[in-house]
Structure 1
Amino acid sequence: MGALAVAELASLLILARLLSPNEFGLYSAALIVIKFSAIFQGLGITPAIVQRPVLEERHLRAGFTLSCLLGLVVSALVWAMAPAIAGLLRLADLAPVVRAICFVFLFQGASMVALAAAQRALRFRWLALVDACAFATGYVVAGPVLAWLGFGIWALVGALLIQQFIRMVVLLAGQPHPMRPLLERSAIFELLYFGSGFTIARVCNYLATQADRLVVGRWLGADALGLYGLSSQLMTTPAVIVGQVLDRVLFPTMALVQEQPARLARAYRSAVAGCALIVLPASMVVAIVAPELVKVTLGRGWEGVVAPLQILAFSMLFRTSYKLSDSVSRATGTVYARAWRQAVFTIGVLVGSLMGQFWGIEGVAFGVGAAFGINFFLMAQLSLRVTGMTWGDFFMAHLPGLALAGVVGTGVWALVEWLHEFHLSALPLLIDTALLASAGGLLLCWILPSLFLGRDGLSLLRLLAAVAPAWPRMRKATD
């Protein structure tokens, strides 16, 4: 997931140099519609097949038949409703884009059971390879070529369709299953009984992750959505990677000590401290060099990304650290307490976006950052209740990260201001800044570990050193 997120971001940065914010905005708006419709396309058939204790041939045949029919129905509905959707979002050019992209429902419907069968067979490495190859074919090869040839937004549409088509073909060829049509009532009911609950959960998750983009597209237009979408992507990718790495290490550790509150609290506090040590200095650096970062990665025409990127950078800790609390929740089984917090978070993103849109995409970025902050504290409260930690311990765990961010941020700011006097171009400035921030941060931690690492940071380093030899086995166990 982390590697794919990096590849996706890299390909979008390449395409950003060939396409305009308006074209990216229309594509993002179309994906909002497609992703929402996709929730109802399969009605949870894939997880239902994976979850069933006893899976018979009739389940596979009924699931394949139903998923193909649902793909056809949803595709037809989205095609017919495309003009109305474009009118609702106030994006006149959106209808043909949505109609073209809706063919992905046919591809996904045909490959849904093959995907479930591969997951049930624990072929995760193969699935990751399939996703990587399909993505590379669509977005690394086809997309940039089509954009270079002048196809505009249709380069993005073509990249998505090619990716999904290749993925469908490889899944069907590599994971064969019975495909003879069958519409048996009992088999369909057994699949949908579990899948319906899963669908409701996906709706909540969708609203939490897409509500801000929906608001931007509806009230601020395609250009603003293109700018906001890329600034959000630049911040989301690091959060995904850091959160995934920490979760791989911490979730199995916390699950083992869930009945020992003292050890669970110690593991959680070390994780919080480690997250703050990485994320807080990084967010400071990103906020300071955002103009140069945008100029180097996106090129001309994307200057509007700078301000929302700086605002979102300061919420990076909230985006990343709450995932640690999520690990505690899953490890201790407090999933229902987490559920209502997820609902509050979803409402917060929507309300924050609606209120913020009066001040443009900068206001939306601030509103979404505030929603992440509320979610951060709500999830922290749940973790503190489970582990027995106090709020004082929680805030103390962040102090080394805050100290490191303050010193590194001040040094980077002074360096950038000094280099500006020499009119240094963006790329050398970024290189100098990265070298100073990384070398300076490591040097500070080495000279004054008690101040810039703290006992929690040192404890986390010992934990990482202990699990490093067993990392391949742990990764396989947590895949």
Structure 2
Amino acid sequence: MAEADPDLLRSPPPVPAPPSPAPPSLAAQVRTAVIWRSGSQVLTQIVSWCSTLIVIRLLAPQDYGLFAMAQVMLVLLSTMNGWGLASALIREEHVTEERLRQTLGMLILLNFGLSLTQFLAAPLVALWFDEPMVTQLLRVQALLYLAVPFTALSHAILSRRMDFRRPAQVRLAAAVVGAGTALTGALSGWGVWTLVAAPMMMMLTEAVGMTRAARAPIWPSFRFAGAGHIAGFGGVMTATQIFWFIQSQADVMIAGRVLDPHSLGVYTTGLFLAQLLASKFVPPINEVAYAAYSRQRGEGQSQLIAPALLATVRLVMLVALPAYAGIAVVAPVLVPVLLGRQWLEIVPLLPILSAAMAMMTLQILFAPATNASGVPMAALRITMIGSVVMPSAFFIGSHFGLTGFAWGWVGGMAVLMLATVRLSGRIIGVTIGGLARAILPPLAAALAMAAGVALLLAALPPLPDIAALALAVVLGVGLYGGALHLIAPDRLAEALRFARNRNHADDADEAAEALPLV
């Protein structure tokens, strides 16, 4: 029998595996995160506002009044619900399964305590407002805290991975569930319980969805050895939130004592309109920024946080400054189109409030950088300053009616912004000169745009408000883009580079300068 060819008996040489694709860069992850987080925020708000506008027409004003009374305690206790504990995990270099279970245990104990506190204190709140129904509302809403631990922990886990796609999908699904619940309740005659049931269903949906998306542990550990630094970091962030509550709610607390209900409604509605950008769309960017800054620090690149923050400022103010300038100048036609002519008293407030919100937008961009740098005390000090400055400004403004409160925002935010730049900039390494170079080009272009739009509105013949608004928006976009191209064409190029995820810088410092939020 012929012998087999030994070459045929040998194993074939191994075929080299194709090279695995390189993991996405931090820049690519940030770009994707911003798109998903901000984009989902827009869709979520659209769903929420559409259902809200329908529900408002179906419920009675007293339903909203009762709900607002209950919200006072809910908002206060929510500042202590432990999101800071979960946020501490984002900046950790290594996180074990045991650490996750310990954090979950802390969150469960804390939120159970808040739930019990609200349940027991509900009659006292009802007595303060002289509305017995508030007791029932608060006691049912006490269940909301039980969902927080699972949502907060899952959010921290996904933020560490720079995965904002799945949380965005979960939040959108929760918004749809909440909207469906609200419409069902309003159409079925649930009254004020509609406003209670909708957020509860949203929280439950988000807790389940986020836990599944993050594959987070659901069994807590109540042995906290070695987790003291997480509790300390979370405690500082919780204290920050409490002072933020005082700072941000002082105007309504004071205005409610000196203004009649009609004037208070005008003021709060105007403030809501002016704050849309700062309160709804900047926080998602800060959420991504905090995760990205923490990643940089964990990789030993803390020196890149300052240029990254400046890049974030350039990107955000590129959009925010023309938005605020536009709101200020088109207020006479914007208010009747969005809210109706019965809200025209808001018009003189919007230009003042827009100036304040521009400063506020810049000021709130600093906290993620200082927290990620391991100095949460900086944000705490700033909110402590704000908890004195803002109430003082509103108290002074209260002597001058509605516009006095608006100017109180301007004066208070000017002081608070300067304090933030000085204290936080020293920690991060951001100079006033660097900040000015980041802000001045879009500011100059926005002011030029506002002047051109103001001239257009003054020269227009009588037109329907919506037609005048459309013309103003078209002209404003063109003027701003043209002015910015003349003043600082590199800003438009930087924004396009970020949108396209192209970065050709060779060294880390140049990369940080070129990539927002990285």
- TM-score bracket, normalised by the shorter chain, equals 0.7 to 0.9
Are 2:394 and 1:357 aligned?
A: no
Look up the match of 1:112. 149
Please give the per-residue CA displacement for 1:69-112, whole angstroms capped at 9, x wherever unaligned: 425413312422222342xxxxx56x635642552331331452
Cα distance between partner residues in 2 of 1:301 and 1:184: 58
Residue 403 (structure 1) shift: 3.1
Residue 286 (structure 1) shift: 0.7
1:177–1:295 Cα change, 3 Å: same
Cα distance between partner residues in 2 of 1:187 and 1:399: 47
Task: Indicate if the aligned counterparts of 1:79 and 1:102 stay in contact, CA closer than 8 A.
Answer: yes
Cα distance between partner residues in 2 of 1:72 and 1:293: 42
Cα distance between partner residues in 2 of 1:193 and 1:383: 20
Are 2:487 and 1:417 aligned?
A: no
1:383–1:439 Cα change, 3 Å: same
Are 2:127 and 1:84 aligned?
A: yes
Alignment of 1:170-189 (within 5 A): 170=209, 177-178=217-218
Residue 436 (structure 1) shift: 0.8
Are 2:184 and 1:141 aligned?
A: no
Please give the per-residue CA displacement for 1:23-60, whole angstroms capped at 9, x wherever unaligned: 65664453232111233455966557887955549748
Task: Indicate if the aligned counterparts of 2:315 and 2:495 stay in contact, CA closer than 8 A.
Answer: no
- Of the three residues 242, 249, 258, the one matched with 1:203 is 242
Task: Indicate if the aligned counterparts of 2:51 and 2:182 stay in contact, CA closer than 8 A.
Answer: no
Cα distance between partner residues in 2 of 1:114 and 1:433: 42
1:246–1:372 Cα change, 3 Å: same
Cα distance between partner residues in 1 of 2:398 and 2:339: 24
1:218–1:161 Cα change, 3 Å: farther
Cα distance between partner residues in 1 of 2:266 and 2:187: 21
Task: Indicate if the aligned counterparts of 2:398 and 2:405 stay in contact, CA closer than 8 A.
Answer: yes
Cα distance between partner residues in 2 of 1:203 and 1:249: 22
- Of the three residues 99, 111, 116, the one matched with 1:73 is 116
Look up the match of 1:156. 195
- Of the three residues 339, 342, 352, the one matched with 1:311 is 352
1:79–1:289 Cα change, 3 Å: same
Cα distance between partner residues in 2 of 1:371 and 1:82: 30
Cα distance between partner residues in 2 of 1:196 and 1:217: 31
Are 2:470 and 1:431 aligned?
A: yes
Unaligned runs of 5+ in 2: 1-36, 504-511
1:331–1:81 Cα change, 3 Å: closer
Task: Indicate if the aligned counterparts of 2:69 and 2:134 stay in contact, CA closer than 8 A.
Answer: no
Residue 131 (structure 1) shift: 2.4
Task: Indicate if the aligned counterparts of 1:352 and 1:370 stay in contact, CA closer than 8 A.
Answer: yes
Look up the match of 2:334. 293
Cα distance between partner residues in 2 of 1:276 and 1:191: 33
SS of residue matched to 2:340: coil
1:214–1:142 Cα change, 3 Å: farther
Are 2:483 and 1:444 aligned?
A: yes
Cα distance between partner residues in 2 of 1:275 and 1:118: 23
1:126–1:273 Cα change, 3 Å: closer
Cα distance between partner residues in 1 of 2:238 and 2:309: 31
Amino acid at match of 1:107: L
1:387–1:30 Cα change, 3 Å: same
1:98–1:42 Cα change, 3 Å: farther
Residue 125 (structure 1) shift: 3.6
TM-score, structure 1 as length reference: 0.75
Residue 410 (structure 1) shift: 1.9
Task: Indicate if the aligned counterparts of 1:227 and 1:302 stay in contact, CA closer than 8 A.
Answer: yes
1:8–1:355 Cα change, 3 Å: farther
SS of residue matched to 1:103: helix
Task: Indicate if the aligned counterparts of 2:44 and 2:171 stay in contact, CA closer than 8 A.
Answer: no
Residue 168 (structure 1) shift: 4.6
Please give the per-residue CA displacement for 1:327-374, whole angstroms capped at 9, x wherever unaligned: 654566555444423321222222222332333443223212322221
Amino acid at match of 2:449: V
Which region of structure 1 is more displaced relative to structure 2, 43-52 or 107-116? 43-52
Alignment of 1:160-309 (within 5 A): 160-168=199-207, 170=209, 177-178=217-218, 195-220=234-259, 223-239=262-278, 240-241=280-281, 245=285, 252=293, 259=303, 264=306, 276-299=317-340, 301-309=342-350
Residue 377 (structure 1) shift: 1.6
Equivalent pairs: percent with the same residue? Answer: 21
Task: Indicate if the aligned counterparts of 1:82 and 1:96 stay in contact, CA closer than 8 A.
Answer: no
SS of residue matched to 2:347: helix
Which of structures 1 and 2 has the bigger CA Rg?
2
Q: Give the length in aligned residue pairs.
A: 456
Residue 68 (structure 1) shift: 6.6
Unaligned runs of 5+ in 1: 87-91
Alignment of 1:43-82 (within 5 A): 46=86, 53-56=95-98, 59=102, 62-63=105-106, 66=109, 69-70=112-113, 72-82=115-125
Cα distance between partner residues in 2 of 1:243 and 1:157: 24
1:360–1:432 Cα change, 3 Å: same
Which region of structure 1 is more displaced relative to structure 2, 5-14 or 127-136? 5-14
Which structure dedicates a bigger proportion of its chain to helix?
A: 1
Which region of structure 1 is more displaced relative to structure 2, 301-310 or 217-226? 217-226
Amino acid at match of 1:108: Y
Please give the per-residue CA displacement for 1:385-425, whole angstroms capped at 9, x wherever unaligned: 4547455x654654433432332112211222233x32x22
Which region of structure 1 is more displaced relative to structure 2, 149-158 or 247-256? 247-256
